[in-house]
Amino acid sequence: MSPAKGVGKSPRVKDVAERAGVSVATVSNVLNTPGRVASATRDRVEAAMTELGFVRNESARHLRAGRSRTVAFVASDAANPFFAQIASGVEDVVEQEDLSLFICNSRQQPDRQAAYLSRLEQQRVLGVLITPVAGDKLIDALPARGTPVVVLDDSSSGNLHCSVSVDDNLGGKLAAEHLAELGHTRVAFVGPPGFRQVSERREGFETALSRLGHVTSSITQVVTDGLTVANGRAAARHIADLPKSERPTAAFCANDLLAIGLIRGCVDVNLSVPGDLAVVGYDDIEFAETAGVPLTSIAGPSRELGRAAARLLLDESANPEHQHQRVKFTPHLVIRSSSC
């Protein structure tokens, strides 16, 4: 056998053929139809592959067939444990199908989202799962150009793709009913503008309070710059600065990171939780139970969201008779020490 070639480079099929003393076509047969190759020849080719460290380029092979075997998940905030749980659910499904998962983080920036979608289309991924930051024409255009899209955590998507979400309006209602049952009459909603999910949670919260006899104009709106722990700590300072007669005794936060930050911020400004301020979050992330004060939260099946979305995507990619579906999960209240 001749010495190994291409030191420092990935060995090619041609290198394997030269090492084993066979044709390129024989190596190709070993890779694709090994039953057609005599066992002695096959053993010699496989030994050459091992010696050279040859790794089959699956990506190129599938692209030649027209589509890769990679599913992409474009998360709006990959640092948020809620989206990490969704990704775990997606992974549960794609691993069973011997597919790969590629995760992109748009960081809640529309420009990054658009750039990722364009890049993923160029790479001809099998399909795209996305928690959208904002409306993007490319989300609607991709299916018509051959790349299936499933939208997660957004029930407002149209009929061009499947969607999987949690009933956020109902989640807000559950938070309102819980705080009302505890006797709170001065309440706050903590969250940023510009997010559909946040708007639906606030709408459900306010509508339920109104039906329970609260004047919605009296609800304190604590507007934050985002959905992070730091934003929650800033919200605590804002609440503490209000006159005591106007200060809310309970707060519903648009997500758990805000709520955890709010609880931490209450320590900074000498407000006790739940004594001075009852706190309810949303998403029931893993850290909710282990927060300084265990967090009451509205829970949705985040991992199952990922599984359901992945199943829909794979069905659309393989089934010519696929019909788009809009799946909506029902949230539930998890009561812990932060509210009572």
Residue-wise pLDDT tens digits, 119-159: 999 888 999 999 998 767 889 889 888 899 999 987 665 67
Average pLDDT rounded to a whole number, residues 87-108 = 95
Tokens of 237: 């300072």
**Residue 106: pLDDT band with limits 50, 70, 90:** very high
How confident is residue 5, by pLDDT bands cut at 50, 70 and 90? very low
Domain ranges for the chain? 13-56, 69-165+302-329, 168-301+334-339
Residue with structure tokens 């991992």?
A: 303
Query: Is pLDDT of 265 > 70?
Result: yes
Q: Do domains 69-165+302-329 and 168-301+334-339 have the same CATH topology?
A: yes
**Residues 299-321, mean pLDDT to the nearest whole number:** 95
CATH of domain 168-301+334-339: 3.40.50.2300
Give 4's pLDDT tier (boundaries 50, 70, 90).
Answer: very low
pLDDT band at 57 (very low <50, low <70, confident <90, very high): low
Interval 175-199: pLDDT, tens: 999 999 999 999 999 999 988 999 9
Half-sphere exposure of residue 127: CA atoms within 13 angstroms, side-chain side = 21
- On average, the pLDDT of the chain sits at 90
Q: Is cis: bond before 274, omega within 30 of 0?
A: yes
Q: What pTM was estimated for this model as a whole?
A: 0.80
What angle, 0 to 180 degrees and rounded to 10, lies between the N-to-C axes of helices 196-211 and 168-181?
Answer: 40
289 Cβ neighbours under 8 A, 6+ residues apart: 295, 336
State the architecture of 69-165+302-329 in CATH terms.
Answer: 3-Layer(aba) Sandwich (3.40)
Residue 98 — left, alpha, or beta (φ > 0 → left; ψ -120 to 50 → alpha)?
Answer: left
Supply the pLDDT for residue 249.
97
Q: Which of 111, 194, 197 is nearest to 157 (CA)?
A: 197
Question: Averaged over 254-260, what is the pLDDT?
Answer: 98
Instruction: Say yes or no: domain 13-56 is CATH 1.10.8.870.
Output: no
